[in-house]
Amino acid sequence: MPGFLLFAVLFRPFILLVAKPQSMHFADALPLQSGASIRAYDLTYETYGTLNAGRSNAVLICHALNASHHVAGVYVDERGVELPKSEGWWDTMIGPGKPVDTDVFFVIGVNNLGSCFGSTGPMQVNPDSGEIYGADFPVVTVQDWVQAQARLLDALGIQTLAAVMGGSLGGMQALSWTLQYPDRVRHAVAVASAPNLTAENIAFNEVARRAIVTDPDFHGGHFYRHGVLPQRGLRIARMIGHITYLSDDVMNEKFGRQLRQAVVETAGLEASPADVPARAAAYRYSTQDVEFQIESYLRYQGDKFSEYFDANTYLLITRALDYFDPAGEHGGQLARALAPAKAKFLLVSFKTDWRFSPARSREIVKALLDNQRDVSYAEIDAPHGHDAFLLDDPRYMGIVRSYFESKVAPC
Amino acid sequence: MLKTAPVLSADQLSIARLVPKGSRVLDLGCGDGAMLDYLIRERGCTGYGVEIDDANIQACVARGVNVIQLNLDEGLAMFGDASFDVVLQIDTLQHLHNAEVMLRETARVGRTGIVAFPNFGHWPNRLAVLRGRMPVTKVLPYQWYDTPNIRVGTLRDFAALAQKNRLNILDSFGLQDGQEIRFWPNARASRAVFKFQHG
């Protein structure tokens, strides 16, 4: 083995995958499902790996509610030093030597229209009015996103995807790809996804949206003009969301009934809250103090989120989730809706995921079986609820790795 | 797909010969997918495996064989009536709580069902029980206290169950070291094989 190869193999885990966001402008208007259109727009995207000569190794990654084009790798400063906490949101899954191996595949992450990480969205200026879009940004759907992604692929010279892949709402986009462009997708990988949202799921979205739009700083979605942000609403939206992404068990294991360290200490009780459950002696008998660890955790998550996420984007993306329903146009019959799909499928769900439960993935599997499509399905017994799709479970990673190695890999 | 074809045992090869070429196959309890892989490569079949075990799911995916992770004790609601030419249950039935329901489901989903299981009527098993001990053999390698085989039955037991469920037995025989045993199979064969249809 030549020396440099040995070096590369031994040190591969330590070689940084450096991500660089790029932007592409689209001058032609994009007609939307609603009948409206976006006159001109930009898409922010990242790519990892190399497109092969046959242009047959491209993998498109679709993101969910609060993620972005930054799927894998890290950002570096001008001296090439890794920026802290800059890993892509699916860095466990995608990269050199990872289950979706960027040494083999050319992976594309793209920020969807209406999002707030660079692609045209409600925070940007509406060319028709010269004002920030805000609430005037048109409602976009999963199908619209797929159309925009397809235009990006056209521009990149990619006719056929080796695979389209996503989790949760990203899985819905993967599914939609196989219906809108059946000849452009060889494989679809949908993780922790669903063929549509249940009433309970729409209900959670609605609570989050009400939290945002009833924030006095929301100003009907035109808060940018007022120089304020509806952060209170966003915080609550995120808290609600976060509860639904975890399982009861994992929350209990992580937080249980533990009180915050400060609460225990001011009560004059020694002990770390990590091993001591709530005791009446430590209660402050307050209704508004943050006493339990879970309260503190949720508030922290809410605060963090409200600092970087756009309120209108939250409304738009949850609406796209609500509307997605390929079976809707086929009398509710998913099997009929999936008839156009030609791709081979891998579906993965997680037993403790109650927001996108295994039963929902099984509906997709059944519809594919009814159409005699190639499909494999794994139901992973991970404890983490919906969040499991972003975590590093060896069974989950192993199955995706095997699928890409045995089936997706270009011959 | 793995480059090399799977190596089947003589018993498995005998069962594979029962599957018509080009069949659409559902393999219930497909293990690592070797049988399905063989049927796809050597007999031009298509289809899916069903498995509960994580490691087996991974093995099937690594082979490039379609596999659905499912607990068979929850039934086959995912599969439509007569949606497969052949449904296989090879060394699966003995692990199922709802073995009878699954037998009916096999006949519902498949135009033909093929079931193979350890034959408790094989003479060394009878001899062991006569001696007062549960048998431990190549086909039944477990001790009575740790066996995953929660259903033990004989060739004739299965024939009676098939009749009770109004299944048409198309063929039945014993297998012993890859040889089909058609004379007195209930005593002479360690494995029972049935091919049947909905009555």
pLDDT tens digit string along A371-411? 999 999 999 999 999 999 999 999 999 999 999 999 998 75
Spatial contact of A142 and A365, defined as CB atoms under 8 Å apart: no
Give the separation between CA B60 and CA A273, rounded to whole angstroms.
45
A71 touches chain B (CB under 8 A): no
A17 touches chain B (CB under 8 A): no
| CA-based nearest distance B93→chain A, Å | 22
Give the separation between CA A155 and CA A29, rounded to whole angstroms.
15
The number of beta carbons lying within 10 Å of the beta carbon of residue B138 is: 10
| CA-based nearest distance B2→chain A, Å | 7
Q: Which of A:86-125 have CB within 8 Å of B?
A: none
Looking at residue A267, what is its pLDDT?
Answer: 76
Backbone angles phi, psi at A30, to 5 degrees: -105, 110
Give the separation between CA A242 and CA A259, rounded to whole angstroms.
19
| Owner of token pair 């295994």 | A358
Q: Is A226 a catalytic residue?
A: no
Residues in Cβ contact with B171 at an 8 Å cutoff, skipping those fewer than 6 apart: B18, B193, B194, B195
Spatial contact of A235 and A369, defined as CB atoms under 8 Å apart: no
Q: Is A70 a catalytic residue?
A: no
Interface test with A, best of B2, B36, B58, B60 (most A CBs within 10 A): B58
Looking at residue A262, what is its pLDDT?
Answer: 79
Size of interface A-B (CB pairs under 8 A): 57
User: Among B67, B78, B80, whose Cβ lies nearest the Cβ of A376?
Assistant: B67
Q: B-chain residues within 8 Å CB-CB of A349?
A: none
The string of DSSP codes covering A330-386 is GTT-HHHHTTT--SEEEEEEETT-SSS-HHHHHHHHHHHHHTT--EEEEEE--SSGG
- Taking residues A264-285, what's their average pLDDT? 69
pLDDT tens digit string along A155-200? 999 999 999 999 999 999 999 999 999 999 999 999 999 999 999 9
Q: How many Cα atoms occupy the beta-carbon half-sphere of A116 within 13 Å?
A: 20
| Inter-chain CB proximity A376 and B24 less than 8 Å | no
Q: What is the pLDDT along chain B (199 residues), one digit of tens a residue?
A: 556 778 899 999 999 999 999 999 999 999 999 999 999 999 999 999 999 999 999 999 999 999 999 999 988 999 999 999 999 999 999 999 999 999 999 999 999 999 999 999 999 999 999 999 999 998 899 999 999 988 889 999 999 999 999 999 999 999 999 899 999 999 999 999 999 998 7
pTM of model > 0.90 = yes
Q: Is A168 a catalytic residue?
A: yes
Q: Which two tokens stand for residue B44?
A: 């031009």
The ipTM (two decimal places) reads 0.94
DSSP-assigned beta bridge partners for residue B173? B193
Interface test with B, best of A336, A402, A405, A408 (most B CBs within 10 A): A402
A189 touches chain B (CB under 8 A): no
Looking at residue A272, what is its pLDDT?
Answer: 54
Three-class DSSP category at B120: coil
pLDDT band at A278 (very low <50, low <70, confident <90, very high): low
The string of DSSP codes covering A154-171 is HHHT--SBSEEEEETHHH
The number of beta carbons lying within 10 Å of the beta carbon of residue B163 is: 12
DSSP-assigned beta bridge partners for residue A101? A95
Q: Which of A:222-261 have CB within 8 Å of B?
A: none
A192 touches chain B (CB under 8 A): no
pLDDT tens digit string along B162-174? 999 999 999 999 9
What does the angle CA A140 – CA A146 – CA A150 come to, to the nearest 5 degrees? 130
